Amino acid sequence: MAQDEYQELIHCIHSGDTAQACGFHVKAKTEEEIMKHAELHEKEAHGKELSPEDEKKIKANIKTVKT
């Protein structure tokens, strides 16, 4: 059985601080899907928009995992 690859973001990065995590975790097929989920989470859970700096930090923390 072949393994599928996924993109995974384990930490919620908000308030410009990569060490501040709220338990948000998302796994998706593409980085674009991860970013959509992260943007929605940021709005709903933290009441703010992602800054360009937040987007860079999120993208730097996305890992490829095999399931």
Burial class, 31, CB count within 10 angstroms (exposed 0-12 / middle 13-18 / buried 19+): middle
Tokens of 21: 């995590």
Phi/psi for 59 (5° steps) reads -60, -35
Q: What are 13-52's pLDDT values in tens digits?
A: 554 444 456 778 888 888 899 899 989 988 998 888 988 9
More confident residue, 41 or 9: 41
Q: Which residue has the higher pLDDT, 61 or 14?
A: 61
Write down the pTM of the prediction: 0.73
Q: For position 2, what pLDDT does the model report?
A: 53
Cα–Cα distances (Å) from 47 to 11, 15, 41, 42, 50, in that order, read: 17, 11, 9, 6, 10
Domain residue spans in the chain?
Answer: 23-67
pLDDT for the residue 16: 46
